[in-house]
Amino acid sequence: GVPDNPAPMIAPGEERRYTFPLAAGGTHWMHAHTLQEQNLLAAPLIVLSQEDRSADVQDVVVLLHDFSFRSPEELLAGLKAGGGHGGMMGGHTMMMQGHNMSGMPGMQMDLNDIDYDAYLANDRTLDDPEVFAVEKGGRVRLRVINGATATNFTIDTGMLPGRLVAVDGQPVQPVSGARYGISMGQRLDIVIDVPAEGGAFPVLALREGARERTGIVLATRGAAVTKMSGLGAEDGPVLGLSLESRLRGTSAVETGPESRAYDLVLSGSMSGYDWRIGGADQLRARRGERIRLAMTNMSMMGHPMHLHGHHFRVVGLNGKAVDGALRDTVYVPPMATVDIAFTADNSGRWPFHCHHLYHMASGMMAYIDYEGAS
């Protein structure tokens, strides 16, 4: 949770032990909500289903981070004072072309507002990547977690085409490919088949709109691992809705009318670094209701929107109805609209926020309150 919801922060030197029932299997994670991810205060939480336990598949968990030697407080102060320009802020931009993300071509997107000191996969850079021993002809399930505070990546499986089989811990109909975008807070499960002849196979995370990259290596016994640069030859891809539009869940689509619908406007700018969720001050639900949230991003930065305590289905992309994936975090690109729907089946007061945690800390945070909940 977030500070004081549902419990106070763990004090220095304090110890707490939590017990809780496990839900269905999936790739999950746990982390602080106080800008401490960039200090590596996060960890995977992998729940194995009975099917996972019996499958002849090797799990490889990859936790991505952006790391800075500057404190989160210093970085946030610089963002508010500098509007994304200056030594510590990236201010990377690009022109939006065409109409795939907006109706206004030629607008300038803000991609990265912080240039981090390092981009890490399992706490390591490509100067010394983690090398996973895999079997010739074996099958690997990559469980990739974007634990970065403020960085989108694209996962590049290189020579080994993959099959995306789950997002945010929820199964999807397989999507074949070699590159998959992953925003902050999201998870991807990608199945890869290792060639019978073996070899060493990098799996890279490409920073959005920039040359920096990180990653791991899958290597069979005796394979030579070639040293790689932390800078690629070209900028990493810019995330949009292309992958999201291809995702379909494997469970039955929930039917029935929505009990409540909220139109939300995501707004803000690098000038003054002020971010908001318009229309979110009175988000209410009653147990058993079907809730729809329509999020329109009127800013020039993308926002990975995360709902605590629930999984939701993606039901609309730029006005087009879809039977999309079940998720807990969905990326809303600049000048785009994404609709989600969920069943209110977990009473409480649940945070709903942007998982770019500097946006969250600067106002892009709301709560969904259950009516009649004790």
Q: How many CB atoms lie within 10 A of CB 30?
A: 11
> What confidence tier does 264 reach under pLDDT thresholds 50, 70, 90?
very high
Total of domains in the chain: 2
With beta carbons less than 8 A apart as the criterion, state whether 279 and 310 touch: no
pTM value? 0.92
> What confidence tier does 44 reach under pLDDT thresholds 50, 70, 90?
very high
Which domain does 55 fall in, by range? Answer: 26-68+116-238
Residues 124 and 208 in one domain: yes
Residue of 331, 271, 243 whose CA lies nearest to 295: 331
Residues 133 and 183 in one domain: yes
Residues 184 and 299 in one domain: no
More confident residue, 19 or 237: 237
∠ at Cα 31 (45, 24), nearest 5°?
30
Residues 284 and 193 in one domain: no
For 350, the 3-state DSSP assignment is strand
Residues 136 and 61 in one domain: yes
**Residue 97 domain-assigned (yes or no):** no
With beta carbons less than 8 A apart as the criterion, state whether 162 and 142 touch: yes
Per residue in 177-233, pLDDT tens? Answer: 999 999 999 999 999 999 999 999 999 999 999 999 999 999 999 999 999 999 999
Element (H, E) at 82: helix 72-82
**Residue 89 domain-assigned (yes or no):** no
Residues 187 and 267 in one domain: no
What pLDDT score was predicted for residue 82?
76
Residues 31 and 134 in one domain: yes
Mean pLDDT of 282-301: 96
Residues 226 and 267 in one domain: no
**Residue 249 domain-assigned (yes or no):** no
Residues 234 and 273 in one domain: no
Residues 62 and 161 in one domain: yes
Per residue in 317-371, pLDDT tens? Answer: 999 999 999 999 999 999 999 999 999 999 999 999 999 999 999 999 999 999 9
Residues 283 and 314 in one domain: yes
**Residue 338 domain-assigned (yes or no):** yes
Amino acid at 266: L
Whichever domain contains 191, its CATH number is 2.60.40.420
